[in-house]
Amino acid sequence: MSYKTREWRNSMRVTVDYNNMMSKFLGEKGIKDFELRAVKDEAEAAFNYVKANRGRDELFMGWTELPYNQDEIVADILATAKEVRKNFKYFVVLGIGGSALGPIMAFNALCHLHYNELPQSKRKGPKFYVEDNVDPVRMAALLDVIEPDKTCFNVISKSGATSETMTQYLIISDILKKAGVDVAKNMIFTTDAAKGNLNKIDASLGGKVKKYILPDGVGGRFSELCPVGLLPAAVLGIDIKGMLAGAAYMDALCSKPQISKNPALACAALQYITMKQGKNINVLMPYSDNLKLMADWYCQLWAESLGKAVDYEGKVVNAGTTPVKSLGVTDQHSQVQLYTEGPYDKVITFISVGQYATEMPIPHGCEDIPDVGFLGGHTMQELIQAENKATAYALMIAGRMNYTINLPEVNAFTLGQLMFLLELQTAYTGAMLNINTFNQPGVENGKKATFALLGKKGYEGQKAQMDAAPEIDDKYIV
Ligand code: PA5
């Protein structure tokens, strides 16, 4: 690894503190050491399963190798990003699910929080938008603020058959064509190597679209560290080599089969134990506006990976816990009441930051009003960190399980670590549950029903089935 010095990397190590999960702090409500020991073999088996299947495309485990096998792609992406920055005023990602949540998350984490409002001289790249819905109001709003001919559209879709993304493509390409613009010049496709409709579309455009490959063995929700996420990040001037180095660093930190020596395995074991206790809600609560959308990205990773009807033996297990996104300190004034006094059905994961990118001193003032005066002379970092500690403490005192992922600061290297930690945690948990972590059969039924409703050829049977459903009963409409 040639990323900065070893000392720097070690100073940026992401750690997990799970004291507040344990009976030492929570008493009867906490996990006892023997309970952790009791899942030791299952955790080790999960570790061995993930290790043995690393990189296997047919199992959708190609993501484990992304930190190591992309030197050429990274060089190409950096060159393309430079061209995009030179030639375009706007960069728009068209994608959904795994093709969108990663790019938005990295943008939020590593760019100015009001990036698009900054003057061009203060931005590293073009204005940036990720369109991950088919709400017509949103599409119209986008078209109000971009100039399509000066926009690079990155269409990200493995299948090229996702209705939402392809609808966006149809609208944008129509606008470009009508404006006399060569569609291929304003497009970059990130898609399957050979299969998929975007390859056909490229061929119809003369094979001139710049394309990046979404590797075979990498599913959407595990794709942020391949061109899906790397290209948009590079266009924004994000240090993508740093992100990959961070992922590799976390991979090395997770190379042992013992819970006490592998942070992702520790998190997986904690989630697994608490799941078995019936704790069905898994809250991710970063204390950082930069990591707000990390919680969105994580919700998809966790929900789509672990929400499964059957295990590998075909036994009905209805696995999974419900991920909830929360933001510190904002949601202290919204959800923490429930976390502290509601049902004992949650595990709260905090993400804490050691050093925020900016410091903001709190001036003295209002000395005669004690409720306000005490704040003067502190800093906003002190306040947010104190509130983070205080919330963890209050939950602990109330017997509520919580643990903390500590980031020394939010940068490309620590973000890469955090992503890989959460990906490994998800893979280990899925292996402990003996389920297929990497498929998403439950999403298909909704897709098929949409096709049927919109009259797609081949879905007549589905349409007939839907028509045969009971008539809507007015008595249930109020
Ligand atoms: O995680 C996933 O696999 C999904 O969220 C997909 O990324 C999403 O459905 C988009 O699929 P596609 O890339 O084929 O457009």
- Name the percent of the chain lying above pLDDT 90: 91
Indicate the top mutation candidate among 63, 99, 426 to test ligand 1's pocket, ranked by most ligand atoms within 8 A of CB.
99
SS3 content of the chain, % helix, strand, coil (to 5): 55, 15, 35
Return the pLDDT at 28. Answer: 95
Of ligand 1's listed atoms, the one at least distance from the Cα of 99 is: 7
Indicate the top mutation candidate among 61, 63, 93, 96 to test ligand 1's pocket, ranked by most ligand atoms within 8 A of CB.
96
Pocket, ligand 1, Cβ cutoff 6 A: 96-99, 157-159, 162, 165, 219-221, 304, 440
Q: Can you tell me the distance from the alpha carbon of 6 to that of 12, in angstroms, rounded to the nearest whole number? A: 10
How confident is residue 443, by pLDDT bands cut at 50, 70 and 90? confident
- Answer yes or no: pTM beyond 0.85: yes
Tell which phi-psi region holds residue 185, choosing left (phi > 0), alpha (psi between -120 and 50) or beta: alpha
Ligand 1 centroid to residue 462 C-alpha, Å: 22
Query: Between 292-306 and 412-432, two packed helices, what is the crossing angle to 10 degrees?
Result: 20
**Token output for 233:** 């990040």
Return the pLDDT at 330. Answer: 96
Q: Tell me the average pLDDT across 162-185.
A: 97
| Contact (CB, 8 A) for 465 and 476 | no
Q: Tell me the average pLDDT across 33-54.
A: 97
pLDDT by residue (tens digit) across 300-319?
999 999 999 999 999 999 99
Task: Tell me how far CA of residue 460 lies from CA of 244, 443, 467, in angstroms.
Answer: 46, 19, 10
Q: Is 333 a catalytic residue?
A: yes
Ligand 1 centroid to residue 314 C-alpha, Å: 25
**Token output for 322:** 């419900």
User: Which residue has the least CA distance to atom 12 on ligand 1?
Assistant: 157
How confident is residue 445, by pLDDT bands cut at 50, 70 and 90? confident
Of ligand 1's listed atoms, the one at least distance from the Cα of 165 is: 15
**Residue 80 phi/psi, 5° resolution?**
-65, -40
CA torsion, points 238, 239, 243, 246, in degrees to nearest 10? Answer: -140
H-run or E-run covering 306:
helix 292-306
H-run or E-run covering 26:
helix 23-26
Return the pLDDT at 194. Answer: 87
Residue 79: strand, helix, or coil: helix
Return the pLDDT at 26. Answer: 96
Q: Tell me the average pLDDT across 130-149.
A: 98
**Residue 326 phi/psi, 5° resolution?**
-145, 155
Longest dimension (CA), the chain: 74
How high is the mean pLDDT of the chain? Answer: 96
Q: Can you tell me the distance from the alpha carbon of 160 to that of 69, in angstroms, rounded to the nearest whole number? A: 25
pLDDT by residue (tens digit) across 238-276?
999 999 999 999 999 999 999 999 999 999 999 999 999
How confident is residue 438, by pLDDT bands cut at 50, 70 and 90? very high
The answer on pLDDT for 1 being more than 60 is no
Ligand 1 centroid to residue 60 C-alpha, Å: 13
Catalytic site residue from 210, 304, 308, 448: 304
Q: Tell me the average pLDDT across 32-48.
A: 97
Catalytic site residue from 122, 333, 457, 475: 333
Place of tokens 């419900």: 322
Ligand 1 centroid to residue 457 C-alpha, Å: 22
> Which residues are paired to 323 by β-bridges?
282
Q: Can you tell me the distance from the alpha carbon of 22 to that of 19, in angstroms, rounded to the nearest whole number? A: 6
The answer on pLDDT for 474 being more than 70 is yes
pLDDT by residue (tens digit) across 211-233?
999 998 999 999 999 999 999 99
Compute CA 352 distance to the chain's CA centroid, rounded to the nearest angstrom. 17
Return the pLDDT at 444. Answer: 79
The answer on pLDDT for 365 being more than 70 is yes
Return the pLDDT at 196. Answer: 85
pLDDT by residue (tens digit) across 179-192?
999 999 999 999 99
Catalytic site residue from 117, 364, 447, 460: 447
Ligand 1 centroid to residue 420 C-alpha, Å: 19
pLDDT by residue (tens digit) across 62-81?
999 999 999 999 999 999 99
Q: Can you tell me the distance from the alpha carbon of 178 to that of 159, in angstroms, rounded to the nearest whole number? A: 26
Return the pLDDT at 448. Answer: 84
